[in-house]
Structure 1
Amino acid sequence: MSFQIVSESIIKGNESLTVEHVKELIDSGTEPLSIINDGLMAGMNVVGERFKNGEMFVPEVLMAARAMNSGIELVKPLINDDDMPNVGTVVIGTVKGDLHDIGKNLVAMMMESAGFKVVNVGVDVTTDKFVEAVRENNAQIVAMSAMLTTTMVYMKNVIEALEEAGLREQVKIMIGGAPVTPKFAEEIGAELYTVDASSAAEEGKKILK
């Protein structure tokens, strides 16, 4: 049983096959972290690349992410929390007044598969909720999504609330969503604008290095 087989089942989005292969690797005494890094995450990295290049689409990515998460759940109990891959902690949510969550969830999944600890605070998220999540989880990135021109202005409120709470220095702000532009990111003082889910994970890694 090779890691390649696990990766391929992730790329195909085959959850039951992924679970079966991961169980086989666990039973054969394979190093748990290797199962995650060389099998599950390696497969998800291919999915991220294909999605970025337009060779895979949202439903396929969601299936792959679901398969990967099921695999990780099997391996997690065998690993100390401290040893779990963790590039950094991201608090992600769709801002107040906005109930769109597919894009935001896709970004969360891609970041999780890239080794980030992701705290998904949901949709219609207030400034207080963002601030509280950053403080509780000692986050390094705040990722905000807005799909409406009327709600994207709320992103500035969140940044101001983080400043007032004395947390702005510790976090990088990442924003995205249909009406959001690099110019708007610059105007409100966000460090990152990302155009899609796979680039969000890549840019997040770069900015924390």
Structure 2
Amino acid sequence: MSQILETIAGALADGAVDNVKNGVRKAIDDGVSAKDILSKGLISGMDKVGLLFKDGEMFVPEVLVAAKAMQAGLEIIKPLLLSDGVQSVGKILMVTVEGDLHDIGVKLVGMMLEGAGFEVINLGVDIPAAKIIEKVKELRPDILGLSAMLTTTMASMKNVMDALKEEGLLDNIKVMVGGAPLSPMYAEKIGAHYSADSNEAVFLAKSLIKKT
């Protein structure tokens, strides 16, 4: 059993979509549980990708390819996970704030978080605070992830934080922020948690979930 899971993890790290699909299907045929395929195959592979990315041995385009391979495998086992009652690590609502149209970074972070076992919902780009608050109330995520790639749209993050505070929602949700112009100091100033890249975002999200 461990051999096929190692094969899946290795294929994922190589970004070999077809090999991941074939490996997942073979594991299912061999009687491997969907939970083990997820944790010991797909997530294990993404963990490897995360470490390579952190060490500078893998770059964003390669990470995106690996993440697509992970999603291809995940699509196959999703029905099995649901029928087995496997719970996600946590629910994360991702969004690029109002005035900002950049989405590559937030998509990459979302893929990495999915690879770590989170349920990720991406609201899209240029989303006003009122819409974000509406979705937070509707979906009740554990974590809200805000992205901004422009200095001029950083203020939109503060608007969201202020709105969350006014609505009394900050007691029930953790907020992660990221993007090129941001800093840990700015995140702390507005009451959010900062991550510098997608790999760091995964570790941050896991630590925030443990605190809830």
TM-score by length of 1: 0.95
AA matched with 2:63: V
3-state SS of 1:86 partner: coil
Correspondences of 1:96-135 after superposition (within 5 Å): 96-135=98-137
1:60 counterpart residue number? 62
3-state SS of 1:119 partner: strand
1:194 counterpart residue number? 195
Correspondences of 1:77-156 after superposition (within 5 Å): 77-80=79-82, 83-156=85-158
Q: CA deviation at 1:80?
A: 2.4
**Once superposed, which parts of structure 1, at least 4 consecutive aligned residues long, lie more than 6 Å away?**
none
Q: CA deviation at 1:116?
A: 1.2
1:175 counterpart residue number? 177
Cα deviation, 1:60-112, whole Å, max 9, x if unaligned, reads 11111111111111111122267334221111111000001111111111111
Q: What stretches of structure 2 of length at least 5 have no aligned partner?
A: none
Say how many residue pairs are matched. Answer: 208
2:51 counterpart residue number? 49
Indicate whether 1:205 and 2:206 are aligned: yes
C-alpha distance in structure 1 between counterparts of 2:72 and 2:17, whole Å: 7
C-alpha distance in structure 1 between counterparts of 2:11 and 2:87, whole Å: 21
| Cα distance, 1:127–1:177 mapped onto 2, change above 3 Å | same
C-alpha distance in structure 2 between counterparts of 1:134 and 1:49, whole Å: 31
61-70 or 27-36: which moved more?
A: 27-36
C-alpha distance in structure 2 between counterparts of 1:141 and 1:50, whole Å: 26
Correspondences of 1:157-172 after superposition (within 5 Å): 157-172=159-174
Aligned sequence identity (%): 46
RMSD of aligned residue pairs (Cα, Å): 1.3
64-73 or 78-87: which moved more?
A: 78-87
2:13 counterpart residue number? 11
Q: What stretches of structure 1 of length at least 5 have no aligned partner?
A: none
C-alpha distance in structure 1 between counterparts of 2:121 and 2:207, whole Å: 19
C-alpha distance in structure 2 between counterparts of 1:82 and 1:203, whole Å: 28
TM-score by length of 2: 0.94
